[in-house]
Structures are given as C-alpha cells and as structure tokens.
Amino acid sequence: MGKTMEEKYTEHSHSHHSHSGHSHSEHSHSSAEHSSRYSRPGNPVDLAEFEEDLMKDAPEQASSVKAAEAKSSHKNTKKKKKKRAALIVLFALLALVMLALVAVVGVFTYFYNRSSYHPDEKNVTIDPSEVASMETIDPKSLIPDDPSQYVPDDPGQYDPDDPANPSNIPPTDQSKPVDDIIRPADSINRVGSVYNILLIGVDREGQKGTNSDTMILVSINSRKKMIYLTSIMRDSAAQIPGYGFIKINSAFAVGGFNTGAQLLTDTIRYNFGFPIDNYAWINFGAMKTIMDMIGGIDIYLTVKEARYVGISIPAPQVVHLTGAQALMHARDRSSGGSDYGRTQRQRNVIMAVIQKARSGGLGNLVTLANEILPYVHHNVEAGKVATLLLNLTNYMNYGIDQMRIPIDGSFYSSNGNLIMDFQRNSSAWRNMVY
C-alpha cells in the first residue's frame, strides 16, 4: 500500500537527522533549513513544495548510495584478486617442489638401479665346491718356539730403506697363550655418528676360488669430520664362522659369488668385533675401466714404484697413471714392503680417487657415480644410499687418516700366514676411529 505524502515527509525528516554521511554541523544546518521551509510557525506544511524538493534530492541520494556500493564492491574485488593471486603462487610453488622431488627421486632411482643390490641372507651356508681344496690352519703349529724365527717369509722382498719396512717388527707378547692371542676381540658398540662400510676387491668376478685381494674398512665419523681407511692384510688368518681357521681372504671364496661378501663381512665382525654396517665389492677388471673413465689419477710414486708401472722418473714425485697403471700399482708387492707395502698402495689409490672427486665438484661426483655404480655389488639399502648422497659434499671436506691391520708388534708371520692378536688390533682401530 502506497505511503501518503505526510508519511514520506516524516521519513525524509528523520533520514536527514540521522544521515551518516554528514557531519554534526551539516546535520544542524539541514535540520534548521527543513524546519524553516516546511514547518513555518503558524503555517501548515507545504506538501507540494516538499514533494518538489524530494524529487530533486532523489537522484543525488541514489547516486551517493550507488557510489558507496561501488566502492565497497571494488574493495571486495581487490581482496578476492589478492587471495586468488596468493593461491596461484602457492600452487605454483607446490608444483615446483613436487616436480623437484619427482626429479630427485627419479635421478636417485636411476643411479641406485645401476648398481647390484644383494640383500643379506639370514643363514650363509658354506659352498662345498668352493672349499674342497682348502685346508684349515692350526695356529699353534705355525708358531715356533724360538722367537728368533719370527722373520718375514721372504726377506729379499723387503727394502731396507723403505720406512714401511716391517722386517724388524717385534713379535706379539710371548707370555700370552696362543688361544688368547687368536681369541675373537670383544664386540665394539655401534656409535650413531660413525658409519662403517667394507670395500672389497676380488680377483676374478663370478669364478670359483675367487679370493678377496683387497679389504679396506672405510669409517666415516661425522662428529669428528674424518674418514678412516683401514686395510686388512689378505694373509691374516682368522676364524671363518662355520668353516674353520684359515686365511681371511678365503672367506669370499668359501661363501661363493652370492654370499661371499656377506661371509667375509661376518668373519671380520666375528674376529675383530668391528660394527660393520654394509659392504660393497668390485672386481679388479672393473677397477681398470673405472680409472680410465675418470681420466686416471695423480699419485706420488717412488722410483721403484714408477718403474713397476712402466714409468721412468729421476726421483720420487707425483705422476699420472692410466687405469691399467693404477691397477698395477694397487697390486704391486715387489717395490718395497711386500704385502705390507701393497696395502699402503691400495689406500693411496683410494685417496687419489677421493682427491680427484674433491677437485671436480658436484658435477664430477655425479659423473663418477654414474660410471662406477654399474660395477658395484653391495647390500646398502636405498634409504641409506640416499642419506650418504645427501651428505656427499660434506664428506668431501673431511680429513683422512689410515692404518693397517695387523698393527706393528701384534702378530706372528709363519708359512705365509699372519697370526695376530685380535684384541690388540681391535683396540687400536677403535682408538683411531672413535
């Protein structure tokens, strides 16, 4: 139902008195004006005049309302646009992160699958076909009563001018019974900051009677920021679990191609008490290929060592070796120190490879990994490999130290076998690494 002119007048007057867009002074002026125009004393309200003014004010009021509405709508639109833009940026960042993760996982999977993973067997069995011709050792029969007989097997192989010459190494304490000397060392507790991986080099991959020619325990101590290389001499006699007392490098052959590395690792754990986390092994033919792939190595050689690999130098110095020469150097037993010197050369080769990786930066490390992994057999699970890769650039800045087992004065040498005091050697290793 339509409103009368009087009702409109009343509403119009109230709206003028309460309009929020005017200041208090404007409000008072407007009220006085309306009072004077429409409510003259003693005169009735001039509705016609009021209606005329009302029609004049209507467009202005409508425009004001529309302007306010437009302003509010503009603010809301700007807020919505900002929110939309923020969401777009957020989704874009999430998409980039996801793509990066997918790329990283893809690259990692690619590299990991290039290596040969061998999960540990619950029970390693002895392969009869591998050990038919192997005879265990009675360590008591190898230790002569006369201490003067503790001499190198072939003294002619030793260079008297070589600082690594062990020919004058004193024998183990004669007061200790043989059973105590060869008793397995106490187990060493694992420490979270130390990771131990056994690197194994074999003579002939996949062939019967394959021995481990090289055994180097690599220990990474993240607390001390050090990497330790510990060579175990291949003629060291040890108790192979489930088989008997024999040269430790035979454990790989005793276990066969599939479980030889695991049995060798278990043998070292049993005799020395070392908390070995994983192993990785490679054949020497692959080592030559790898050295050639990385462009060879630069290494310090004596005159004799250089001559052995076909290089003539006037004095000891750093020389460049090809893959074939690096392999010859790592297996050199005749340039001084016999097998003692040979283990030192093997550690030097590994240090030269590490140094080359350090100088080449991350790109060189990726290239190196891509070339080496196809030749590597190991039991390192994917999660651990990922952790090692994430810390690889840190490891490249760690210091390096090394040792040989057996240590000086801790073993007997007889008939080509090294009968050692496992506890003394285990303690020496623990003191260095931890």
Q: How far apart are CA 229 and CA 225, in angstroms?
A: 14
Q: DSSP string of 51-104?
A: HHHHHHHHHHHHHHHHHHHHHHHHHHHHHHHHHHHHHHHHHHHHHHHHHHHHHH
Quick one: CA dihedral 349, 350, 355, 356, positive or negative? positive
Cβ atoms of 168 and 190 closer than 8 Å = no
Convert the pLDDT of each residue in 257-312 to its tens digit.
778 899 999 999 999 999 999 999 988 777 888 888 778 899 999 999 999 999 99
Highest mean pLDDT (candidates 120-124, 204-208, 251-255, 310-314): 310-314
How many other CB atoms are there within 10 angstroms of residue 228's CB atom?
22
Contact 308, 332 (CB under 8 A): yes
C-alpha span between 313 and 282 (Å, rounded)? 31
Which pLDDT tens digit goes with each residue over 309-331?
999 999 999 999 999 999 999 98
Side-chain-side CA neighbours of residue 391 (13 Å): 13
SS3 117: strand
57-84 core/surface letters (b: 16 or more CB in 10 A; e: else)? eeeeeeeeeeeeeeeeeeeeeeeeeeee
Q: What percent of the chain has pLDDT over 70?
A: 64
User: How many Å apart are CA 215 and CA 352, to the nearest integer?
Assistant: 17
CB atoms within 10 A of CB 170: 10
What pLDDT is attached to residue 275? Answer: 94
Distance CA 125, CA 122 (A): 10
Tell me how many degrees the CA angle 114-119-121 measures, rounded to the nearest 5: 150
As a whole number of angstroms, the distance between CA 102 and CA 385 comes to 17
Give me the percent of the chain exceeding a pLDDT of 90.
Answer: 24
Structure-block tokens of residue 96 = 């980039």
Total-model pTM: 0.70
- Contact assessment for residue 31 and residue 19, using Cβ atoms and an 8 Å cutoff: no
* pLDDT score at 82: 75
Strand pairing class (116-117; 377-378) = parallel
The answer to whether the beta carbons of residues 253 and 260 sit under 8 Å apart is yes
The residue-averaged pLDDT of 359-369 equals 67
Supply the Cα-derived Rg of the chain in whole angstroms.
43
Look at residue 164 in the predicted model and tell me its pLDDT: 46
Average pLDDT on 129-142 reads 66
